[in-house]
Amino acid sequence: MLKIINGKILTPSPLPKDFGVLIEEGRIKQVAPISKLPLNVPVIDAMGNWVIPGLIDIHIHGSSGADTMDHDPDAYITLSRFLASKGVTSFLPTTVTASNQEILAVIENTQQYQQQETGARLLGLHLEGPYLQAQYRGAQIESHLRAAQPEEYLPWLKTGVVKLMTIAPEIDGVMDLIRTGISMGVKFAIGHSNASYETVLKAVDQGLNQSTHTFNAMPPLHHREPGVLGAVLTDDRVYTQVIADGIHLHPAVVKLIFRLKGIEKTILITDAIRAAGMPDGQYNLGEEPVTVVNGTARTNTGALAGSTLILKDALKNSAKFTSQTWQDLLPSATSVPAESLNLKDEIGVIQPGSFADIVIMDEQLSPHLTLISGKIAYKGSDY
């Protein structure tokens, strides 16, 4: 057993100051007044800091020099430890459009890594592509874009590793993929798409439940042809992923999304590449060369190529852009992404029964201590 005391607990809603958290066997056993918690157990003193659910990034390619497409267990170790140091306790490593052989290699690597325990919790894989629209490919390699064929994607899905796929529903075979994937527990996001409003709604009817980096890699909103944006912004069944770095979206657009969708349907993501946490310079995103200048990543053609964003900074930026507090917006980086993956009671919350994935942070969102399943995954100098 272990207990956390003397912190300002967000579950993500706030609790009275005299509350503490009791942890047993990797899960939260009790959230109660400190006076009602057992006395003779080890104590973590939050020292007046915030005690929050661990952050969840469901769209991240890499950070700290490592990338999902490295298909190397050491890359996941590097990435998961880096994320834990930034307050992220769960993540979906994300691929880029690639050959069948490459995707199978990443899936195999993910299966191998899941046997290890280090750093942030790897929830499975997010496949971004390869069934995307060439017109809005962004930094995706056009030669790898293709129609969806069951003989290709069924072996991926049958592994149970794939938890989320970004697709363009107008591509041949994708509607059948959505129906099949939903029956196997896979979630779907629309992205890199030029689908009509009506096509998007048909995909949502089949089970698609979110949009990838909303506004990016999709046509602009048109008042007579609402298209992808018109559908995802007005359908209450759809979660909207947002890159709140001030580069991918103007601050006013971030504010607009939160106003239209509400915190309960907005998911903060980073779409970070291996350059996150690294100096400016030359990198790659899959097979695509990328140049990072002043923290902005672009391909040789000038297209944005992911970001160098850290999720806690996305939360901080969103608070600034919307004139709300980061405490109010916290669910968009914790309980909302968990809910979008049907993990509502497992992660992203501090409540009895959930995993003890907890971060102690100060008001500036600097992590002091990160617990994953009740074990210390990162600690600052004051612990």
Active site residues: 271
Name the pTM for this structure: 0.97
| Dihedral sign (CA 127, 354, 236, 208) | positive
Per-residue model confidence (pLDDT) at position 139: 87
Confidence at 138, pLDDT banded by 50, 70, 90? confident
Confidence at 314, pLDDT banded by 50, 70, 90? very high
Per-residue model confidence (pLDDT) at position 116: 67
pLDDT in tens, 225-282: 999 999 999 999 999 999 999 999 999 999 999 999 999 999 999 999 999 999 999 9
Q: Which domains does the chain have, with CATH numbers?
A: 2-51+350-379 (2.30.40.10), 55-340 (3.20.20.140)
Per-residue model confidence (pLDDT) at position 177: 98
Round the average pLDDT of the chain to a whole number and report it.
Answer: 96
Contact 375, 63 (CB under 8 A): no
| Dihedral sign (CA 99, 100, 101, 102) | positive
The angle formed by the CA atoms of residues 199, 205 and 208, to the nearest 5 degrees, is 80
Nearest-angstrom CA–CA distance, 335 and 129: 26
Question: DSSP string spanning 97-165?
Answer: S--HHHHHHHHHHHHHHTT---SSEE--EEEE-SS--GGG-TTS-GGG-----HHHHHHHHHTS-EEEE
pLDDT in tens, 67-110: 999 988 899 999 999 999 999 999 999 999 999 999 999 999 99
| Dihedral sign (CA 316, 64, 242, 247) | positive
Nearest to 170 by CA among 227, 92, 128, 245: 227
The answer to whether residue 325 scores a pLDDT higher than 70 is yes
Across-strand partners of 290?
283
What is the Rg, in whole angstroms, of the alpha carbon atoms belonging to the chain? 20
Nearest to 125 by CA among 181, 193, 197: 181
Please enumerate in sequence order all residues whose Cβ is within 8 A of that of 18, keeping only pairs 6 or more positions apart, or say none: 33, 34, 35
